[in-house]
Amino acid sequence: MIDFLQLTIYGIVLGSIISLGAVGLSLIYGILRFPHFAHGDLFTLGAYMAFVVVVFFNVPVLVALPFGVALTALVAVAIDQTVYRRLRKVKPVILLIASVGIALILRSVIQLVWGSGNRVYEAGIQMPHLWMGLRIQNDHLIIVGGTILLVIALHLFLQKTKVGKAMRAMSDNSDLAQVTGIDVNRIIIWTWIIGGGLAAVAGIFLAMDTRLHPVMGWRLLLPVFAAAILGGIGRPYGAIAGGIIIGLVQEYSTPFLSPAYKPAIAFALMILVLIVRPTGIFVGRKV
């Protein structure tokens, strides 16, 4: 029983990271209507941006987190305005291919600047807290608590603010939203700010839980897509639940399979959902 509860803790931590990435991915798809394959590399970029602040200013990673988020969001907007904006009128498959190219460019730049080795925010071993036989690390509490706060903030933003309501309107019908006077380009920029920012937080949390590596985000991209599809692609609220489910299933599989097969578990679950319920298991408003 203790082992099961310990795996549940690890699954919730991993699921929280996946959920943040899946929410950003779903927002981008819901408004721009294309799967963003460079999203995983935005994870990595955000983690390394925070790493720069940690190293240069000798501050804790939580202090560096807002700077990593802001810089990654800025890069995401710059990519959209220089590349994706010119391709919005073409078929979605062209945008998909362009996003794969952006992913390769981001990964190569990260490897050129920071190298291909592993890095960490803090050296040394973090001693976990022991509670009823369970091992809980401070970073795990930060990851889960931070995810809950961000999900609540995103919900309030989408439901209460003018920009959030405009994003929901664009997700339902972009043409009708434009006719009613919504500034489409402004909303698209906000979508990239939020999507890029959430990707950066997910990357920083992932690096806190493991370590920094140039392909860390790329390796997590399949579970993120699986979570978004499980929750209904384009539905951020479903993506949150999908991320937790994927994280738990991956961790529950470790007593029976090698951890190397975790992405395969996510892939199998994604295929199963596509066969049984292509629209995802959570049906409702997209944004």
Nearby residues of 259 by Cβ (< 8 Å), 6 or more positions away? none
Q: What is the pLDDT of residue 254?
A: 87
b (16+ CB within 10 A) / e for 88-108:
beeeeeebeebbeebbeebbe
Give me the phi and psi of 119, to 5 degrees please: -135, 160
Q: Exposed, middle or buried: residue 148 (CB in 10 Å: 0-12, 13-18, 19+)?
A: exposed
Q: What is the pLDDT of residue 283?
A: 59
Structural domain spans, the chain: 2-218
Q: What is the pLDDT of residue 286?
A: 55
Q: What is the pLDDT of residue 267?
A: 86
Q: What is the pLDDT of residue 261?
A: 83
pTM for this predicted structure: 0.92
Complete DSSP assignment for 195-239: HHHHHHHHHHHHHHHS-B-TTHHHHHHHHHHHHHHHT-TT-HHHH
Nearest to 137 by CA among 126, 145, 148: 126
Per-residue pLDDT of the chain (287 residues; tens, 9 = 90+): 788 889 999 999 999 999 999 999 999 998 888 899 999 999 999 999 999 999 999 999 999 999 999 999 999 999 999 999 999 888 888 999 999 999 999 999 999 999 999 999 987 667 777 777 788 889 999 999 999 999 999 999 999 999 999 988 888 777 787 788 888 899 999 999 999 999 999 999 999 999 999 999 999 999 999 999 988 877 888 899 999 999 999 999 988 888 888 888 888 888 888 888 877 776 554 55
